[in-house]
Structure 1
Amino acid sequence: MEKRQITIKDIAKALAISPSTVSRSLSDHPDISRETKEMVTTYAKKHNYRPNPLATSLRTNRNKTIGVILPEMVHYFFSSVLSGIEDEAEKEGYRILVSHSRENHEREVKCVQAMLEAHVCGVLSSVAKSTSTYDHFQELADNGIPMVFFDRICKGILTDRVVVDDYNGVYSAVDYLVKSGCRRIAFYGSTSQLVISNNRRMGYEDALFKNGVAINPDFIVVCDNYHDALSMTEKLLALPEPPDAFFAVNDETAIGILNVAKKLGYRVPEEIAVCGFTNNSICELSDPTLTSVDQHGYEVGTTAMRLLLDRIRGKRSDEEIASRIIKTKLIVRDSTR
């Protein structure tokens, strides 16, 4: 049986360094020390390493194109992020190649393959809801392609990331609801597979706990879109002691809650308060106008792009992982007291 050819990833694991350090050492990159280069090349020769033609092609033929993988295209937050990315890229003379995973793992894998085939010089990505394995992103790393994750980060790969301060964003909103007189506050969140979902739920629970309000498990549900909010809200409002306030993981879901409450004859915000998350433009158009947490998506985009360009230009070593947290702001409107 023929022995398997070792890869850059194998060398990195054996020498306890990153795949990109191995890649740069083998290509005699000036940022890598002479000692590291000698260590890598000695090991590679000893184990008969032969470069992967595809990987070599990717490293040597990249253009000034940045790959962007979005979970959703029509979501206000992601469109705001994309605007920030595009403006920053244009300012620096880079082009953008946008791909859409539609919250699907298999499609996300295809998006990554498209980025490899396009010879992009870096990738910005927010992970799909259904993604739980990250081999496709590891393939980008193995080919020496810098990555920055934003909002929904990749738990399996240590790389630069830009996240929203989800915990404090939700904490401030729920704290405000409690201080305005609400005591039975429902929480509509996303799947616990996403780091941001868990951070938001913790913000909700801690705000209740620190204000001495009991947590009702029946009020914590997975509901993150308009249509599910219609049926879920009717169900919760039919309880003997229904919620007197709702916090929703995004504004579309909050609008669904608002519409059901009004249809059932509740007065908003006197009887039921509603708060969303994102600060979508629809917040100003709803009746009543919607209180929401501003995520500052545009700033997320510009920050992520700048981090990626710093990485592409070699301004940080592989060991210097950058993490940026974008602060949120509660925008109070007429849907809360």
Structure 2
Amino acid sequence: MKNSKPTIHDISKALNINSSTVSRALNNSPRVSKKTKDLILKKAKELGYQKNTLASNLRTNKTNTIGIIVPRISRNFFSSVISGIEERAYIAGYNVVIGQSFESFEREQKLVSTFLSNRVDGLLISISMETTDYDHLENFKNNGGPIVFYDRPVPLKNFASITINDFEASFVATQHLISKGCKNIVHFSGIQKIALYKNRKEGYIAALKKHNIPVNEDYIFEAKLSENDGVEFAKKILKLGNIDGIYASNDTSAIGAMQYLKANGIRIPEDISVVGFNNDPISAVIEPNLTTINQPDFEMGTIACSQLIDLIEKKDVNGQHQSKVLPTELIVRNS
């Protein structure tokens, strides 16, 4: 049975033009004149010709596809990073494939393996909260393509990462609460396996020490920082009874705590002041508006993607495209 899909040979036959010339025109070769190229492209459109991308990829050993692994796409921060990645990838002629780890190391491993099997050209990843082993990532780099980490740094050499200074941002957030008169400040910390949350905890501790405020380990709560985690933390705060400040490592848990505290008669900020992290859109519209740390999420995505594409296309011959630390900003509101 004859293949109903038109081929390069069908275009060649219809125009009486050599098939190699047709192929060059369809690949935008400068060796073909504009007049001939326009004629071939017009006929290709008339016949409904579609380029066989799979065959082309097999010939070039390149798929023009980037894999993205994100902990949770529902988090505004990560969705904004992905928007930045997609914009940059589109301009450069790359497609993106997205997978969510849901903070699971096992899922992350499977996603990396799937991307390797499907021969993506490179990988952008923010590791899960459970990830402490990096063999799957080393394997991808050795057998697949380059990797650029975003948001969550890892203790690996010869890998590029695009992050912020989490220590400094946390120091600023905690010091802001101290400047408002807070002395008994709790910290909502993420899982300490992740360097990002370790650095935020250390920034919190450093600010307390600078102002001669004792560090109380009972004031440091660790979880995956969901909204429900914030509620559970708020229950602990009510039992402690003397808390006057909260510094949360993300806005989601901060808002969960605020809602529970308000429902139980706690005034914010009169009784307890709150600072979050991420500057999620909801932080500007809840009552009271949440003071928070703003991260350049979209910019992080565009820069990370640019770094990866340069590595894929071997424009990083001198190792210039390595880790970058982006600036943050304290957004002061009413909480």
Query: Within the alignment, does 1:322 sit opposite 2:319 as a pair?
Result: no
Q: Which residue does 2:26 correspond to in 1?
A: none
SS of 1:275's equivalent?
strand
Instruction: Sort the Cα spacing of 1:286 and 1:272 in 2 relative to 1 into closer, same or farther, 3 A.
Output: same
Q: Distance in 2 between matches of 1:308 and 1:96?
A: 12
Instruction: Sort the Cα spacing of 1:60 and 1:138 in 2 relative to 1 into closer, same or farther, 3 A.
Output: farther
Query: Within the alignment, does 1:206 sit opposite 2:206 as a pair?
Result: yes
Q: Distance in 2 between matches of 1:134 and 1:278?
A: 26
Instruction: Sort the Cα spacing of 1:77 and 1:212 in 2 relative to 1 into closer, same or farther, 3 A.
Output: same
Instruction: Sort the Cα spacing of 1:317 and 1:288 in 2 relative to 1 into closer, same or farther, 3 A.
Output: same
Query: Within the alignment, does 1:287 sit opposite 2:287 as a pair?
Result: yes
Q: Distance in 2 between matches of 1:157 and 1:100?
A: 25
| Structure 1 residue 127, shift from structure 2 partner | 0.4
1:229 maps to amino acid: G
Q: Which residue does 1:143 correspond to in 2?
A: 143
| Structure 1 residue 107, shift from structure 2 partner | 0.9
Query: Within the alignment, does 1:226 sit opposite 2:227 as a pair?
Result: yes
Q: Distance in 2 between matches of 1:74 and 1:82?
A: 11
Q: Which residue does 1:130 correspond to in 2?
A: 130
Q: Distance in 2 between matches of 1:134 and 1:59?
A: 31
Alpha-carbon displacement from aligned partner over 1:257-301 (angstroms, at most 9, x marks no partner): 111221221111011101110000011221111111011111110
| Structure 1 residue 113, shift from structure 2 partner | 1.5
Q: Distance in 2 between matches of 1:219 and 1:90?
A: 46
Alpha-carbon displacement from aligned partner over 1:136-195 (angstroms, at most 9, x marks no partner): 111111115011011113324531111122111111111111011111110001111000
Q: Distance in 2 between matches of 1:63 and 1:303?
A: 21
Q: Distance in 2 between matches of 1:118 and 1:96?
A: 12
Alpha-carbon displacement from aligned partner over 1:181-221 (angstroms, at most 9, x marks no partner): 11111000111100001110111011111122121111011
| Structure 1 residue 117, shift from structure 2 partner | 2.0
Q: Which residue does 2:9 correspond to in 1?
A: none
Q: Distance in 2 between matches of 1:186 and 1:131?
A: 26
Residues 260-269 or 298-307, more deviating: 260-269
Query: Within the alignment, does 1:178 sit opposite 2:182 as a pair?
Result: no
Alpha-carbon displacement from aligned partner over 1:83-136 (angstroms, at most 9, x marks no partner): 100011111111111111111111111111111122111110110111111121
Partners of 2:122 and 2:144 within 8 A in 1:
no
Q: Distance in 1 between matches of 2:202 and 2:58?
A: 42
Q: Distance in 1 between matches of 2:105 and 2:217?
A: 30
The 5-angstrom pairing of residues 179-328 of structure 1 reads 179-223=179-223, 224-239=225-240, 241-317=241-317, 322-328=322-328
2:211 maps to amino acid: N
Q: Distance in 1 between matches of 2:318 and 2:68?
A: 21
Instruction: Sort the Cα spacing of 1:302 and 1:143 in 2 relative to 1 into closer, same or farther, 3 A.
Output: same
Q: Distance in 2 between matches of 1:221 and 1:309?
A: 39
| Structure 1 residue 317, shift from structure 2 partner | 3.1
User: What 5-or-longer segments of structure 2 have no aligned partner?
Assistant: 1-56
2:123 maps to amino acid: V
Identity across the alignment (%)? 36
Q: Distance in 1 between matches of 2:328 and 2:161?
A: 17
SS of 2:68's equivalent?
strand
Partners of 1:85 and 1:304 within 8 A in 2:
yes
1:101 maps to amino acid: S
Alpha-carbon displacement from aligned partner over 1:228-271 (angstroms, at most 9, x marks no partner): 221221122222x5210101111110011111221221111011
User: What 5-or-longer segments of structure 1 have no aligned partner?
Assistant: 1-56
The 5-angstrom pairing of residues 10-29 of structure 1 reads none
Q: Which of 1 and 2 has greater Rg?
A: 2
Q: Which residue does 1:18 correspond to in 2?
A: none
Q: Which residue does 1:40 correspond to in 2?
A: none
Partners of 1:186 and 1:246 within 8 A in 2:
yes
Q: Distance in 1 between matches of 2:144 and 2:112?
A: 14
SS of 1:238's equivalent?
helix
Partners of 1:150 and 1:163 within 8 A in 2:
yes
Q: Which residue does 2:90 correspond to in 1?
A: 90
